[in-house]
Structure 1
Amino acid sequence: MPARLRTAAARLLLPTVLALSFAVQAVGALLPSVPLLVAAAAVGLAADIALHRWQRGMASALGKLNATVTVRQAVRDLLMVTGLLRIEEQDYETKYLALVCGLLVFYALHFACQALAISVRRTRTLPVVTRNIDASALRLRPAPPALLMQRAGQRLLMFGLPSSVGLLAAAVTGSARLAAAGIALSAAFAVVAVAVLLLRLRPGRRPVTSEEALEWFEAWLAEYQPTVGMYFSGGTSSAYQANMWLEPLARLEGRPLIVLRERFMVRKIASTDIPIVCLPKVADLMRLEQSTLKMLIHPSNSGKTSQVLRIPTIKHAFVNHGESDKLSSCNPYAKAYDEVWVAGPAARERYALAAVGVDDKDVVEIGRPQLDVIQPYAGAPTGPYTTVLYAPTWEGWDGNPGNTSVIEAGENIVRALLADPGVRLLYKPHPLTGSVEPRAGAANTRIQEMIRAASAARAAEHADERPAPSAAAELAARTAELDRLTTSSSRPGADDAERMLLQTAPEPGRAAAVTAATAAWEAAYWASFPAWEHQIVTGARPTVYACFNVADVLISDVSSVISDYLESEKPYAVANTSGLPEQDFRVTFPTVRAGAVLTPDASGIPALLESVRHPEKDTYAEARTELKLHLLGPSDPPSVVRFNEAARALCAEADEHRAAMAVRALPVIPTQRDAESTLDSEHVRG
C-alpha cells in the first residue's frame, strides 16, 4: 500500500473505531448484552481520549459535523443508562433515576465551567501582546490550567471518566452505588473547576484593564523610543517571509521594533532580540503615530497593510520576501509605499516594464543583506557524490501551470537524479506546495516516497558505512541547545497575559549565541548522515541558505530561489513547464539566461550533471557572474551597508515631514501692522 494511503487509513482509524463503538454499544443496550455494552463503551471512550490527544484536527472536523465531544459523551452515557435499565427492568425508578439526575447535574456544571472559562479568557485578552519586552510592571498572573481554559473536550472526557467507569462497573456488578460514586466524583471535579474559575473573576485577581495595558504600552514606547521597524501581517505559514529580515533589521542603526497584527504570529517569529509588539485592533495601531518610530519595512502585502499606511508620521518601504520574474514581484500595490527597496537593476527594470505606477525615483537598490551567509562557488565536487538541491516553488494563486515544476516535471526530475549513482539529492519543496492545487500536493507526496525508497535501497548497499553514533548524539545536543535559545517560553495556545508574563526582556548576547548555535547545529546536521544519503528537507531547519552551501547545483523554477542562489555563482537549472519554447522562455524570464533549461521529461539531467562535474564544460559561468550583478547589484559597498544607508535616508525624510507638519500646525501670530489694520477696520465699522 502506498505511503499516502497508509497515512489516510491511519487518520481514519480512530474515527472509524469511534463510530463502530456507538453502533455496538447501542446493540448491547437494546439486546441487552453486558459484554457488548461494557466493551463498546470502554473502546469508544478510549478512542475519544486518543482522538483528542493525537488527532485534534480530526476531533475539530467531527465537531463541524455537530458530532462534538459533548454530544458523543452524552450519547455514550445515555446508551449506558439505557442498557442498565434494560438489564434490570424492575425497580428502575428508584435505582437509576438518581443516576440520570446526577448526570444532568454533571453536564450542567460542565457547561457552567465552559461559560466561566470564556469569561476568564476574555479578561485575559489584552489589546497589545509583546515579546522581548519586560512586562513585569503589569503584574500579570499565570493562566489557569489549560485543561480548564481551552480544552473543553479533554476536560469533559477527563472529568467524565469516573462517571463512565462507574456506569461500566454498575453494568458488570449490578450495583448502582458504583455508578453513583463515579458520577459524584465527576461532579466534584467539575465543582472544583467552577470554583477555580470563579476565583479568577474576582476584581483582585483579574489582569489589568485594556486602558491600563495601553497606557503601559505608550509609556514603554516613550522610554524605548523606536526609530526603525518591520511591519508584518499574514497567515500561519507565512512567517518565513518576516523571519528572513530579522537579522538585517537587527543590524540597522537606531532602535528597531517589530509590529505584528495577528496574536499567533508572536510565537511564529524566529528567535530575535528585537522587541515585538502585536496590535490586533486598528485603533490601537494608530497609537504608533505619536511614537518616535520613523520608518517601517514591509516584507509582504496583506489586507491589513493599508491600515498602517494611514499613519502619516511613518515612512514605509516595501522590501518583499524575494524577487523573481513572476508578476507577483511587481505588484501594483507597491505604489502605496513611500519607497520600494529592491536587490538590483533587474527589479528596477521589472517595475518600469510592468508600468504598475511605481515611480523610478522611489525604487532604491539595496541588494539582499541576508545573503552574506551564502558561501561562494568553490569549483567541481571533490567527493564521490554530486549534491543536487531540487527546490521547486509552489503553484501560486493564478493557476498558471508554469509556476511550479512539481506537477508536470517533478517526478521525472527526481527519477532522473535518483538514477545517477553519483548523486545525493536534497529535496526542499516550498512550504505552501499543495495549498491551492491538490495535484501539486499529491505529486509532492509521490516524490517524497520515491526519495525514501531510494534512500532505503542505498542504505542496504552501504550498511557498513554509517556515521559513528557520536554524530547522532552531537546533533541531539546541538538541537537541544538551539531549541533552548529559540523556542518560545510560552506554550502553544497561551493567552495574551500568560505570553506577556513569560516573554520578558531577552538576555544580553542571546542573538550572537543563536547565530553560533545555528552554525554548530548545521555542521552537526550534515555530519549526522552519510554523504550518499538523500534528504527531504521540509522543516524550518536547515534553511534554504544552508542547503545552498552544501549543494553543487540547484534545480528550481522561476522564483526568488534562483536570485538568492546566484550569490554563490554556482551552476543552476530551471524547469520549463510553461509551454514556451526554450528561447521564448529565456526571453520572458531573464533569471533563466545564466542556467540550463530542463524540459518536463528531464532529459537534460545527464548533461547538467556532466557540466557540474567538469567545469570546463560549464558554458554559463561568465553569464552567472553578469546575472548576479544584474539581479543583486554590486558587492561593494556591501548590501548591509546599502540597506542601512537606505534606512537612514528614509528616516531623514520622516524627520523632514514631521518638521513640516509641526510648522503647519503652529498658530499664526499677527504682526503690528496686522493689528493696526484690524483696529482701523473696526473703527470704520463703528
Structure 2
Amino acid sequence: MTSIGPALRQPAQVTAVGLLLAAFTVQTVGAFLPNVPLLVAGIATGFAVDLYLSERQRQTAAALRRIQANASVRQLIRDLLLVSGLLALDDTEHTTVYLPLVGGLLLFHGLHFACQAAAVLVRRTRTLPVVTRNIDASALRLSPAPPASLAKRPGDLLLRSGLFATAGLSVTAVTDDALYAAAGITVAVCVMLWALGELSVRLLSRRRPAGEAEVMEWLDNWLAEYRPTVGMYFSGGVNSAYQANMWVPVLEQLEERSVIVLRERFMVQKIESTEIPVLCIPKVSHLMHLEKTALKVMIHPANSGKTSQILRIPTIKHAFVNHGESDKLSSCNPYAKVYDEVWVSGPAARERYAKADVGVDDRDVHEIGRPQLAPVRPFTGPPGPGEFLTVLYAPTWEGWTEDPGNTSVILAGENIVRALLADPGVRLLYKPHPLTGTVDDRALAANRRIVEMIADANRRRAGELSCASLNPPAEALEELRLRERELDALTGAAFRPAADAVERMLLQGAPRPGTAREIHAATCAWERAYWASLPAWQHQVIEGRRPALYSCFNQSALLISDVSSVVSDYLASEKPYAVVNTTTLDGDRFREAYPTTRAAYLLTPEADGIGELLDVVRGRGPDRLAGARHDLKEYLLGPREPSATEKFGNAVWRLAEVAEQHRAPEPDLPEGPGARRSQQA
C-alpha cells in the first residue's frame, strides 16, 4: 500500500500538506455555498502551497504523486471547483456564457496531457544506450536539453500557466465579467501551445540524437580506434562512488590506455574528474560489445550483483583490487574467488584469505601494496608548543551484517567526541563514513547528535577565545574562493539545472591533454587554501567529496577509528592511532582477532584512556607502540621497495600478457571424427 508517511518527517512538510488539504476544503465550501471570498481564499492558498512544493519540497510533491495526487490532478480539481462556483453564483440565463470557458479549460488540460506525452517521447529519444565522459561523441547529434519545466517537470508548467486561467476565473467570480476568464484561459492555452511546439520540434529526425543501432555502431568504432587495454569496472549505489574514485589516480599513472566502465547512469557524474574515458553501459547485451575490443585486464574495486555480467567476457582477465582492506569479514568475501586474480596490499591480506578458507587459491593472490597512499605524509613528531592537537575521528559505518564492532558511532561515538571536545588544546576533525546511517537508524541519529555537539562546542570556544586574531585573514578566504573557481572550471562541476545526460555528454567531450595534471595541481592548491581558511581552533565536520580522506590524514596527529581500511591506510604515515573496541573481547583477544589493531591504542565505548592517549601524542608520555606501527605497516601494506605504483603497473602488465596468451588461436586439430568430437567437447 502506497503511503506518504515516510516523506512527511519535517514540520514544514506536514504543514504544507495540511494547508493544501485545508485550501481544497475551503474552496469546496466556497463553490457550493456559494461564497466568493471563501472560493478565492481557497484558490490563492492552494496555489501558494503548490508553488512552495514545486520549489522547496520536491520530496513531498513526489510523495503526493505516488498516491495519484499530482499537480495535474490538483489543478484540474481546482479549476473544476472554480467553474462549479461560477455556475452556482449565476442564474440559468447566463450559464451559457460560461460554456465556452469550460471548453477552453478542457482544451488547456488536453494540451497539457499532449505536452506530457511529447515530453515522455523526448526523454526516450534522449536516453541513449550508453553515456560517456571524456569522449568526443558529437557524431551522435547531441544537443542541449529542453527546459526542465517542459521535459522533466511538466507539472510545474501546468501550475505556472494555469495561474493565468485560474486568476482570470477568480476575477470573473468577483466582477461577474467573463472577459477576464476568457483572457486568462487564452493566455494559458497559448503557453501550452508554445510548449507543445517546442517539444514536437525536438522529435523531428534531424533534431533527435542517434538511435540505438547507430550509437552502438559508433561505440564499436570508437573502441576499435582508441584500443583500451586496461579498464576499471564499477557498479554501486549513490553513496559508493568513493570506492571507485580512489583507483582513478592510480589508473592515470599507467602507460596503457585505460577506460572506466560503469553500469548506472547517475554514477557517470560521481566519478572524479579525470582524462580517462568513461563509458556507462547499462544493458548486458550492450556490455558484450567489449568482447571484441583490445581490453585485456579489468580491475574491480567492489563486488556487486552486476559484476557477474562482465565476467562472462572470456577475452578479459579480471582482478579484484577492493576499495580498502581491513579485518572485517567483508574483506575476504567468498565472491572473490570468481575473479582470475585477487590483488592485495601485503602479507596480512594474503593470510586473511587463507584463514577464511573461502575458496580463493593462494596462487591467485598477488601483493601490490596500496598505490593510492602516495599523498600520505609521514609522521613528523608531536605538535609544537601552543599549537592545537588535531585529532581525526573517522568511524566506519554499521555495515550490512550485525558483526560486533562494525561501527563505534552508536555505542561510543558521543562519548569519544565529548571527551575530545573537553580538551581545550584539541581540534577535532569528524569525518563519518559516507554510508553512516543507511542501514541502522541509531547510527544516523547518533551522527546527527555528534554534529550538533561539535557545533555547540565551536560556539562555546568562539565565546571563550573572543580573539579575532585566531581567525584566518580575509586573504585566505579570498584565496579559497579563487581556488574553488579554478577547480570548478577544470572539473566542469557546474551544469544547467535542466541539463540531462545527453547535454553533459556534449559538454564533457574529449579533454585537453594535460587536464589530469592541471586538476591534480588545482586540487592540491584548493586543499592548501581550504585548511588555511579555517580557524586553527575550530572543530570541523568533514563531509562530501572534498577534502579527501588522505588530506585529513595529513592534517591530523592522531586517528581514532574502528576496525576498517582507514586504519590500514593511516599506518602509511606511522602516526599514532586508536581503535575503539565495542566488542565483548578483552584487549589481547581483540588484537588477536583483528591484526590491524596490533599497533593501536585501544579505547573503550566509554572513551576511557583518551586523556593518556592525548598525552602520548603530545610527547608527554612514551609512545610504546611506535616500533609496532613500523612493523605492522610492512605487514599490512607490503615492503617499501619497489613502490606500490610500480608493483601495480607490473601486475597489470603481467595479467595482460596472460590475457594475450589466452586470446592466441589454438593450434590446428587433426582431422577426423575423433578430432571433431574433441573440439565439440
The two structures have a TM-score, normalised by structure 2, of 0.94
Please tell me whether the aligned partners of residues 574 and 633 of structure 2 are also in contact (alpha carbons under 8 angstroms): yes
Secondary structure of 1:578's aligned partner: coil
| Cα distance change of structure 1 residues 167 and 332 upon mapping to structure 2, 3 Å threshold | same
| Cα distance change of structure 1 residues 459 and 95 upon mapping to structure 2, 3 Å threshold | farther
Secondary structure of 2:560's aligned partner: strand
CA distance in 1, matches of 2:374, 2:629: 18
Please tell me whether the aligned partners of residues 302 and 323 of structure 2 are also in contact (alpha carbons under 8 angstroms): yes
| Aligned counterpart for 1:437 among listed residues 422, 437, 440 | 440
| Aligned counterpart for 1:528 among listed residues 514, 517, 533 | 533
Report the counterpart of residue 543 of structure 2 in structure 1. 538
* CA offsets 1:380-405 (integer angstroms, 9 cap, x no match): 11243111111111111113352111
CA distance in 2, matches of 1:91, 1:296: 79
2:345 is the alignment partner of 1:340: no
Opposite residue 478 of structure 1, the aligned amino acid is: R
Report the counterpart of residue 160 of structure 2 in structure 1. 158
CA distance in 2, matches of 1:13, 1:469: 42
The two structures have a TM-score, normalised by structure 1, of 0.93
Report the counterpart of residue 565 of structure 1 in structure 2. 570
| Cα distance change of structure 1 residues 325 and 501 upon mapping to structure 2, 3 Å threshold | same
Report the counterpart of residue 680 of structure 1 in structure 2. none
| Cα distance change of structure 1 residues 70 and 448 upon mapping to structure 2, 3 Å threshold | same
Give 1:353 deviation, angstroms: 0.4
| Aligned counterpart for 2:615 among listed residues 593, 605, 610 | 610
Give 1:354 deviation, angstroms: 0.4
Report the counterpart of residue 3 of structure 1 in structure 2. none
Report the counterpart of residue 509 of structure 1 in structure 2. 514
Opposite residue 314 of structure 2, the aligned amino acid is: P
Report the counterpart of residue 3 of structure 2 in structure 1. none
Report the counterpart of residue 23 of structure 1 in structure 2. 25
Report the counterpart of residue 425 of structure 1 in structure 2. 428
CA distance in 1, matches of 2:498, 2:229: 31
| Aligned counterpart for 1:556 among listed residues 533, 557, 561 | 561
Give 1:92 deviation, angstroms: 5.2
| Aligned counterpart for 1:245 among listed residues 236, 247, 254 | 247
Opposite residue 438 of structure 1, the aligned amino acid is: D
Secondary structure of 1:296's aligned partner: strand
| Aligned counterpart for 2:646 among listed residues 641, 656, 671 | 641
Secondary structure of 1:341's aligned partner: strand
Report the counterpart of residue 357 of structure 1 in structure 2. 359
| Aligned counterpart for 1:178 among listed residues 177, 180, 205 | 180
CA distance in 2, matches of 1:152, 1:633: 57
Please tell me whether the aligned partners of residues 87 and 95 of structure 2 are also in contact (alpha carbons under 8 angstroms): no
Report the counterpart of residue 454 of structure 1 in structure 2. 457
Report the counterpart of residue 372 of structure 1 in structure 2. 374
Please tell me whether the aligned partners of residues 402 and 579 of structure 1 are also in contact (alpha carbons under 8 angstroms): no
Tell me, which stretches of 5 or more residues in structure 2 are unaligned? 1-7, 676-681
Please tell me whether the aligned partners of residues 615 and 621 of structure 2 are also in contact (alpha carbons under 8 angstroms): no
CA distance in 2, matches of 1:328, 1:140: 42
Give 1:483 deviation, angstroms: 1.5
Report the counterpart of residue 679 of structure 2 in structure 1. none
| Cα distance change of structure 1 residues 492 and 188 upon mapping to structure 2, 3 Å threshold | closer
Opposite residue 40 of structure 1, the aligned amino acid is: G
Give 1:157 deviation, angstroms: 1.3
CA distance in 1, matches of 2:173, 2:587: 76
Give 1:198 deviation, angstroms: 2.0
Give 1:365 deviation, angstroms: 0.6
Aligned residues: 663
Opposite residue 420 of structure 2, the aligned amino acid is: L
Please tell me whether the aligned partners of residues 145 and 498 of structure 2 are also in contact (alpha carbons under 8 angstroms): no
2:399 is the alignment partner of 1:396: yes
Secondary structure of 2:10's aligned partner: helix
| Cα distance change of structure 1 residues 59 and 550 upon mapping to structure 2, 3 Å threshold | same
Report the counterpart of residue 214 of structure 1 in structure 2. 216
CA distance in 2, matches of 1:137, 1:392: 47
Opposite residue 533 of structure 1, the aligned amino acid is: Q
| Aligned counterpart for 2:486 among listed residues 481, 484, 495 | 481
CA distance in 2, matches of 1:457, 1:583: 40
| Aligned counterpart for 1:102 among listed residues 104, 117, 126 | 104
Report the counterpart of residue 663 of structure 1 in structure 2. 666
- 1:80-95 superposed matches below 5 A: 80-91=82-93, 93-95=95-97
- 1:262-273 superposed matches below 5 A: 262-273=264-275
* CA offsets 1:421-464 (integer angstroms, 9 cap, x no match): 11111111111111111111011111111110111111222333
Report the counterpart of residue 524 of structure 2 in structure 1. 519
| Cα distance change of structure 1 residues 27 and 580 upon mapping to structure 2, 3 Å threshold | farther
Opposite residue 425 of structure 2, the aligned amino acid is: G
Opposite residue 366 of structure 1, the aligned amino acid is: I
CA distance in 1, matches of 2:518, 2:438: 35
Give 1:476 deviation, angstroms: 1.5
CA distance in 2, matches of 1:230, 1:490: 26
* CA offsets 1:643-682 (integer angstroms, 9 cap, x no match): 10000100010111011xx225x57679xxx9xxxxxxxx
| Cα distance change of structure 1 residues 30 and 476 upon mapping to structure 2, 3 Å threshold | farther
2:140 is the alignment partner of 1:138: yes
Secondary structure of 2:143's aligned partner: coil
CA distance in 2, matches of 1:476, 1:13: 38
Opposite residue 150 of structure 1, the aligned amino acid is: K
Report the counterpart of residue 584 of structure 1 in structure 2. 589
Structure 1 stretch displaced more, 391-400 or 25-34: 25-34
Give 1:524 deviation, angstroms: 1.2
Please tell me whether the aligned partners of residues 314 and 654 of structure 1 are also in contact (alpha carbons under 8 angstroms): yes
- 1:58-73 superposed matches below 5 A: 58-73=60-75
Please tell me whether the aligned partners of residues 125 and 495 of structure 1 are also in contact (alpha carbons under 8 angstroms): no
Give 1:202 deviation, angstroms: 2.4
Please tell me whether the aligned partners of residues 121 and 495 of structure 1 are also in contact (alpha carbons under 8 angstroms): no
Please tell me whether the aligned partners of residues 576 and 598 of structure 1 are also in contact (alpha carbons under 8 angstroms): yes
Structure 1 stretch displaced more, 494-503 or 297-306: 494-503
| Aligned counterpart for 2:297 among listed residues 283, 295, 298 | 295
Please tell me whether the aligned partners of residues 263 and 278 of structure 1 are also in contact (alpha carbons under 8 angstroms): yes
Tell me, which stretches of 5 or more residues in structure 1 are unaligned? 1-5, 675-686
Opposite residue 427 of structure 1, the aligned amino acid is: Y
Report the counterpart of residue 322 of structure 1 in structure 2. 324
Please tell me whether the aligned partners of residues 53 and 61 of structure 2 are also in contact (alpha carbons under 8 angstroms): yes
2:390 is the alignment partner of 1:387: yes
| Aligned counterpart for 1:235 among listed residues 234, 237, 251 | 237
Give 1:622 deviation, angstroms: 0.7
Percent same amino acid among aligned pairs?
60
Opposite residue 197 of structure 2, the aligned amino acid is: A
Report the counterpart of residue 192 of structure 2 in structure 1. 190
CA distance in 2, matches of 1:524, 1:566: 26
Opposite residue 155 of structure 1, the aligned amino acid is: L
Opposite residue 141 of structure 2, the aligned amino acid is: R
Please tell me whether the aligned partners of residues 238 and 267 of structure 2 are also in contact (alpha carbons under 8 angstroms): yes
CA distance in 2, matches of 1:362, 1:493: 48
Opposite residue 444 of structure 1, the aligned amino acid is: N
* CA offsets 1:143-169 (integer angstroms, 9 cap, x no match): 322221111221221222211222232
CA distance in 1, matches of 2:567, 2:187: 63
CA distance in 1, matches of 2:408, 2:450: 12
Secondary structure of 2:206's aligned partner: helix
Report the counterpart of residue 4 of structure 2 in structure 1. none
* CA offsets 1:540-579 (integer angstroms, 9 cap, x no match): 1111111111011111111111011111111111111122
Opposite residue 46 of structure 2, the aligned amino acid is: G
Opposite residue 464 of structure 1, the aligned amino acid is: C
CA distance in 2, matches of 1:40, 1:416: 54
